[in-house]
Amino acid sequence: MHNLMTDVAGVRVGHAHDHTLASGVTAILFDKPAVASIDVRGGGPGIRDGVLLEPVNTVEQVDGFTLSGGSAFGLDSGGGVQAWLAERGRGFAIGDATIPIVPGAVVFDMINGGDKAWGRFSPYRDLGYAAAEAAGDSFALGSVGAGLGAPTAT
């Protein structure tokens, strides 16, 4: 036991970040779909698929979560993790479709000095995919992944 999320069997964590961007993504993946719920707080919350986790809805389990920098742009990270899971046939099966369920949350790191002039599309989808690819039983702690550019005070 290391007092980490990955001490729980079937939980894996991966990070991807870009020092020039001063931002990144953390992916939390489950080997088998997991029951999940969410509690949203704060004055300007940025979440993806949070409503899916309300008890009255059809979806009862998730395949993973994303935590990302980038404010609302970081919500794209869930698409990268979703693509990684879809390539492996993981997700909520309905009819002939299989849809990976990947809720997520973001932090505001847009004014931390990193280069946010990325052009037409933000880098967060690719960072999400890379974080999923990196997921394993051991992972770095500290200012990495979603926490790379997260401010502690403003």
pTM of the model: 0.94
Note the pLDDT tens digit of each residue in 10-49: 999 999 999 999 999 999 999 999 999 888 888 888 999 9
Name the pLDDT band for 60 (thresholds 50, 70, 90).
Answer: confident
Report phi then psi at 25, rounded to 5: -140, 145
Note the pLDDT tens digit of each residue in 69-108: 999 999 999 999 999 999 999 999 999 999 999 999 999 9
Instruction: Calculate the CA 76 to chain-centre distance.
Output: 9
Tokens of 56: 């009255």
24 in Cβ contact with 144 (< 8 Å): yes
DSSP one-letter code for 71: G
Cα gap 26→15, rounded to integer Å? 4
Question: Whole-angstrom distance between the N-terminal and C-terminal Cα of the chain?
Answer: 36
Residue whose entry in the numeric block shows the structure tokens 């002039």: 117
Boundaries of every domain in the chain: 11-32+62-113+121-135
